[in-house]
Amino acid sequence: MAAENRTGSIEGYAIVSEDGMLADAAGIMPDSLKFDADQRFFEQGLDAVDVVVHGRHSEDHLARSHQRHRLILTRQVAAIAPHGSNDGALLWNPAGATFDEALRALGNPGAAVGVIGGTEVFVLFLDRYDTFHLSRAPGVHLPGGRPVFPQVPIRTPEQVLAAHGLAPSPARMLDPERRLTMVSWRRRPVKE
Ligand SMILES: NC(=O)c1ccc[n+]([C@@H]2O[C@H](COP(=O)([O-])OP(=O)(O)OC[C@H]3O[C@@H](n4cnc5c(N)ncnc54)[C@H](OP(=O)(O)O)[C@@H]3O)[C@@H](O)[C@H]2O)c1
């Protein structure tokens, strides 16, 4: 798929079970949520962003991961701090610095951003996503797992996205054999 990110855009990427979970009850993403077609879609998306944002347990491990600028959320720092071993990364605590401050500190103001989770990170951007790409693994259930948003499973991921001003595009079949679909939820234009 052609890259669709643009300057200043914020795109979320998640693959969830039928019950809306990102990972199992132990916080581990099981093989049942891993699909080559979804990985390719995810990697193409991240190749088009300037900055990846994720929690301390959710780093991407893709071919060009080391080249990506990233903000890693953690409460181990007060606001913004160097990563230590990765010059292209900063540790960020949203309680101490705004997102725009963190992007400026990274040298990427106005960056195209990819948000890749986990739960607490996805929820932080619910009112800011331009697009949220939600893949759904059919037949996979992870009761008691880590939900894509804290409101799940009381509400479905789709209900949460709709409540935050996003609307679904037509579903795209990423893997016909395994019936893996992906829906890009895009921000509805604000009425004048
Ligand atoms: N299926 C998917 O699409 C998908 C997507 C993402 C992750 N996952 C999977 O989900 C599992 C990890 O889940 P997780 O929820 O533990 O992931 P996580 O968000 O990557 O890590 C949680 C940690 O990030 C930091 N953090 C998160 N929100 C923060 C906030 N608002 N302010 C400051 N720090 C914050 C905290 O770090 P400190 O403890 O350092 O304070 C927290 O302990 C992994 O198995 C991962 O592979 C799956």
pTM: 0.95
C-alpha span between 142 and 19 (Å, rounded): 7
CATH entry 3.10.180.10 includes domain 10-187: no
- Ligand 1 pocket, mutate which of 13, 22, 140 (most atoms under 8 A from CB): 22
Q: What pLDDT digit, counting tens, does each position of 112-160 carry?
A: 999 999 999 999 999 999 999 999 999 999 999 999 999 999 999 999 9
What is the C-alpha separation between 19 and 191, in angstroms, rounded? 33
What does the pLDDT look like over 71-100, one tens digit per residue? 999 999 999 999 988 999 999 999 999 999
What is the CA(72)–ligand 1 centre distance, in A?
9
> What distances in angstroms separate CA 13 from CA 63, 96, 188, one per listed residue?
17, 25, 18
